[in-house]
A = this chain, B = another copy of it.
Amino acid sequence: MNATLRIPFETLHTFGQMNVHLTHELQNVMATISETSGLLEDLAAFRTSGGGVDPARLEKLLRRIGEEAGRGQRLVSRINSLAHSTDAPAIRLDLGRVVRFMAEVSSCFPKSRTIRLDICDRCVALDAAPYTVQQLLYGCLQAAFRGLAPDQEVALSLRMEGNICVLRLSGLAKLAAADQEEPFPDRPTALAAEALDATLGLDRDAGILTLHLQCVTGGD
């Protein structure tokens, strides 16, 4: 307890970045709710002063508020889960679950993205810092989304090879030479990979990114 565990600043930075993106989405949600309820209040006030609220319009606007509130609840729940990932410096993780969560978190930025998941059923356990695993996955997914057309989707598979867990992202865009110059992994991702003793590979021509990670249990 006396020894202070130190983590790279980049871990906190990545954590902040994820929250920045999620709160931007949430700001849009709150603005829509606020505007829609304001519009309804105007309509209701107009009605009491002799006008009328079209029932179909009323229901449509209320449905919009309900839908946005649902979207807001999902976003808040993600920010809350991210926040709880800092509860302890290391725990036993269900990697499949963390991958699902990060795919969910990452799919809304930089813009809405589709990720097709194929995650092996067997529980893949890992003793690690949840925030570091999240940082690594976030870095991989952000790299996978680079240069992707809006209609393109990325496929993510998670498989065990002995006690090595192999995460594979395929369907990545073939980037122009200028874009290819951006190094992969970037510094936060490289630091997370180093901390987890993970191996990263990116084949831009084939459009495939791989991540090898030593796990506690496994074997297909």
> How many residues of A are in contact with the other chain, CB < 8 A?
58
A3 to B17, CA, bound (A): 21
> Which secondary structure dominates where chain A touches chain B?
helix
Question: Is A84 part of the binding interface, using a Cβ–Cβ cutoff of 8 Å?
Answer: yes
Question: Is A142 part of the binding interface, using a Cβ–Cβ cutoff of 8 Å?
Answer: no
User: A84: which B residues are within 8 A, CB to CB?
Assistant: 16, 20
A52 to B86, CA, bound (A): 50
| Given contact pairs A80-B23, A131-B12, A30 touches B87 in the complex (Cβ within 8 A) | no
Complex interface residues of chain A between 130 and 148 (CB less than 8 A to chain B): 131
Bitwise, A43-82 to B at CB < 8 A (1) or not (0) is 0110110000001001100110110011011001101101
Question: Is A152 part of the binding interface, using a Cβ–Cβ cutoff of 8 Å?
Answer: no
User: A63: which B residues are within 8 A, CB to CB?
Assistant: 41
Contact A9 B9 (CB under 8 A): no
